[in-house]
Structure 1
Amino acid sequence: MDVQVVDHAATATNIGVGRPSRRHRQDATLGDVKVTVQVRLFPDATQEAALRATLDLCNEAANWTSSEAYRTRTFAKQAVQRLTYGRLKTMGLSAQPAIHVARKVAGAYATLKANIRAGNLGKPGSNRRTKAESKPIAFRRDAAQPFDDRCLSWQIADRTVSIWTVGGRLNKVRFACSDSQHATLATYRAGESDLVHRDGKWYLYATCDLPDVETKEPGGFLGVDLGIANIATTSDGARYCGKGLYRVRHRNQRLRTKLQKIATKSAKRLLRKRSRKESRFAADTNHVISKRIVTEAERTGRGIALEDLGGIRDRVRLRRPQRVTLHSWSFHQLGRFVAYKAARAGVAVAHIDPAYTSQACSTCGHIARANRPNQSTFRCTSCGFAEHADVNAARNIAARGVEGWAAVSLPNAA
């Protein structure tokens, strides 16, 4: 099944080195999973023109709403809706689309605020943060537009949809998907669906609420060390090399630079044709790796311990040639894929503090920089234990996962 977007906030237990919070103890037993299934629309010429006009108007309205929200410093959902609803109606939007435009804008500002608070846009006064804060959020012409069941109805058996447009209701717009996607839509579809136009094609991203899966009590943890040389390494010794992925990325980077310098129509056409090809390749690689990790953990009755690598790009300082590799490192996506696949299988997931996991000996616990003579070698200067550096780190991660889970499971934990 082609799963594009995953909400795993309620599935992964964030376990640090300290005492877990009450929310974490409660989340340890939850298995609720939301996935977004992508289906392709096949509108005829008349239907496509109506969809195009609708998406154009919705994003034009979103840009106006964003400007008004920024000018008046009004960012809460209800407040933005009250501020702009009347004008959005006069622009040609019906009641529900107008509400969704206002909520889309409020959600974008909430995301911006969260990114600023998390430090993802740099420190106060940095160029990137100043640029983001100094102007209203802008929406692309093809930015996704959400539709609820009042504006969009699914005839799943017939593989058609009925959708509101500025030119009236469109009926029997055909869609295509795999058999597994069709079964998921028929059984679990609920909530909003996003209309998306990308590379000349139309899509619907449909939200599906999968049934709760009780998280099984883990009999230990499979530690996963995330890295650049090896995308993922498990405490069992399995290593997923990143050479192939980064070779493709560097080749694509050189090709993009060359085509951008040429700047002819054919070069620009080739750039558009190749757009997102690299991201699809990386996503497929992460899907394969995450499936293998979750399958192994489920087979052996263990949970999965992952590093919490939030903010690593701001913390790590690298030489210029290494920066491209770090900033194209899709570890966050891999972590999301592991989390939602684990939730669907009832496998526990723990996010642990990665501090010193690469320098600590998994046998005696001795921590020293000298334990890592090079990138791939770990040799303890205290007890003499030697192992591949990533495998040793994964074992430390697994041990912290066990400790964190034990703390979560304590009945009297505060």
Structure 2
Amino acid sequence: MYLTRKFHIEGTDQLERLSRSSADLWNQICKWYWRTVDRQNHWLSKTAMRRWHCKGHDVLPSQTAQEVAEQFYEAVSSWHDNDRRGNPPKRCDKEYNVLRWTYQGVTLRDDGVLRLSTKRGEDSILIDWPVDEEPRTVEIGKSSGGFVVRAQYDTEPVDRTTGDKIAGIDLGEKHLAAVFTGQDAFTINGGELRALRHYQNSLKAKLDAKIDRKERGSSRWTKLVQTKNKQLDHIDNKITDLLHKLSRKVVEMLLERRVSAIGIGDVRGIRDRIDYGSQMNQRLHQWAYGEFDRMVEYKAKLAGITVNRVDEAYTSQECPQCGHRKKPSGRDYTCSECGFHGHRDVVGAANIRRKYVGSEDRSRLPGVMASPSGVRFHPHLSCSSRSERKTNRQFA
């Protein structure tokens, strides 16, 4: 499977020049593409555009120049696939653009240094590479503090499982994940993520209000826009770091419990089905379930855990003891038929697990389910948990 390594490097005059040339090429491709569409009603093919603008580029190596056209046509294709909703890639004022090398232009030296090809007669770009595998693609993009490298490489999973338990995982907004293993349960608290999202929204609104009071294009307007982008990028990086740490904690806790297979509730497309008012809709539309789900999935697969998607319809409403459906209010679930009581998200995880296993046997669950152990995120201390607290006595 493929993984992506991201790290920062210091800027150089060579990278600045190449990144600006890449932006100029993007602007040129974008301008002539839409000019041809407007004047001749003709959609230029990628092959024609590469032959016209990319072949024999003065600054960029041929492969990197062709990848600029690839980026543009990927954006156009995404716009077409979305039924031409939203904004197509029409901006022709880029100052910097991403540089991309495929495997033909990437060489991993014996001393652990990546060599990226450039034009004949120029020095190659050298980057320290912390992984033994040679990357398939390398991207270098401009950032506020220099440049960011994103390199994709192939790696083989290492089976770290020690048992044969099956777990169900219910993804949520208040609790990023609720996990039920058949014997115990734990939750991943999303409070830190919600706090970051709230700060991100308030900061964006505050800076947008200041920007709107300035004349567009003025020096003060430009400085405020740069400040806004820098601060929002910083928050995005903190959110990504948080999701990585919590998803890694989920996998480690599954391995501690000797889990070898998991069923994850499939919540894809949920944003198209929700409407709970403007404030709640904003929280749900910023719910990072897709990113967190992806991180849990690939980290679990790297550890040798089998991952499957399970339809999550009615899993939080169905009693795991008797099967009666009831829409819960709040975080607790109490069945009006059999008196079963438990955490709503863990009830969802238990039903997801039952669907994955394919068993209708509900007799193993008790009439009352105590609160699961929880995991909260502590900045500077990675993740801590009370996961070692035994909860087996809750389950018969």
TM superposition score category, shorter chain reference: 0.7 to 0.9
User: Where does residue 202 of structure 1 map in the other structure?
Assistant: 147
Distance 1:226 1:387, change over 3 A: same
Cα shift readout 1:51-109 (whole Å, capped 9, x = no counterpart) = 233322342354257537965346xxxx5224542333265455323432333333334
- Assess, with a 3 A threshold, how the Cα gap between structure 1 residues 40 and 34 changes in structure 2: closer, same or farther: same
Find the aligned partners of 1:96 and 1:239 in 2 and give their Cα distance: 47
| Partner residue in 1 for 2:53 | 87
Q: Provide the rounded CA distance (Å) in 2 between the counterparts of 1:81 and 1:393.
A: 50
Out of 27, 34, 41, the position equivalent to 1:60 is 27
Match status 1:346 vs 2:312: no
* Offset, 1:336: 0.7
CA separation of 1:43 and 1:131: change in aligned 2, threshold 3 A:
closer
Deviation digits for residues 106-129 of structure 1 (CA, Å, limit 9, x no counterpart): 333443445x2xxxxxxx7xxxx5
How far 1:308 moved relative to its partner?
1.3
Q: How far, CA to CA, are the matches of 2:160 and 2:47 in structure 1?
A: 39
Contact kept in structure 1, 2:22 and 2:68, CA below 8 Å: no
Q: Contact 2:19 / 2:141 at 8 angstroms: preserved in 1? A: no
Give the gaps of 5 or more residues in structure 2: 215-219, 360-396
- Tell me the equivalent position of 1:102: 69
- Give yes or no for contact 2:56–2:62 (8 Å, CA) kept in 1: no
Of the candidates 116, 122, 127, which is equivalent to residue 175 of structure 1?
Answer: 127
Give runs of ≥4 in structure 1 deviating > 6 Å: 214-218
- Tell me whether 1:274 sits opposite 2:242 in the alignment: no
Measure, in 2, the Cα distance between the counterparts of 1:339 and 1:258: 36
Code of the residue aligned with 2:53 in structure 1: it is R
Q: TM-score, normalised by structure 1?
A: 0.72
The within-5 A match list for 1:84-233 is: 84-89=50-55, 92=58, 94-114=61-81, 116=82, 130-132=85-87, 135-136=88-89, 138=91, 140-155=94-109, 157=111, 159=113, 161-164=115-118, 169-171=122-124, 173-175=125-127, 182=130, 184=131, 187-213=132-158, 219-233=164-178
SS at 1:111's partner residue? helix
**Could you tell me which amino acid in structure 1 is paired with residue 122 of structure 2?**
R
The separation in 1 between residues aligned to 2:90 and 2:107, in whole angstroms, is 30
Deviation of 1:366 (Å): 1.6
CA distance in 2, matches of 1:366, 1:297: 29
Q: Distance in 2 between matches of 1:260 and 1:277?
A: 17
- Higher helix residue share: 1
Comparing both chains, which one has the higher relative contact order based on Cα–Cα distances under 8 Å and sequence gaps of 6 or more?
Answer: 1
Contact residue 22 and residue 99 of structure 2 kept, 8 A: yes
Task: Give the drift of 1:227.
Answer: 1.2
Equivalent runs, 1:254-333 vs 2, <5 Å = 254-263=202-211, 265=220, 267-299=224-256, 300-333=258-291
1:382 alignment counterpart: 337
Alignment deviations for residues 373-399 of structure 1 (CA, whole Å, 9 cap, x no partner): x12010112211110111111111111
Deviations 1:255-289 (A, max 9, x none): 32222223374654542331222222222221122
Q: Deviations over 1:228-262 (max 9, x none)?
A: 12121112331222222212321332232222223
- Contact 1:66 / 1:136 at 8 angstroms: preserved in 2? no
TM-score, normalized by length of structure 2?
A: 0.75
Identity %: 22
**SS of 2:188's equivalent?**
strand
The structure whose Rg is larger is 2
What CA distance in whole angstroms lies between the structure 2 residues aligned with 1:220 and 1:64? 57
Matched letter for residue 143 of structure 2:
R
1:66 and 1:154 map into 2 onto residues whose CA distance is 36
Q: Distance in 1 between matches of 2:127 and 2:304?
A: 32
Are the equivalent residues in 2 in contact too, given 1:40–1:175 (CA < 8 A)?
Answer: no
Equivalent in 193, 196, 203 of residue 245 of structure 1: 193
- Map 1:353-368 to 2 at 5 A: 353-368=311-326
SS at match of 1:233: strand
How far 1:41 moved relative to its partner? 3.1
How big is the shift at 1:402? 1.9
Which of the residues 17, 30, 33 maps onto 1:50?
A: 17
Distance 1:316 1:191 in 2: 39
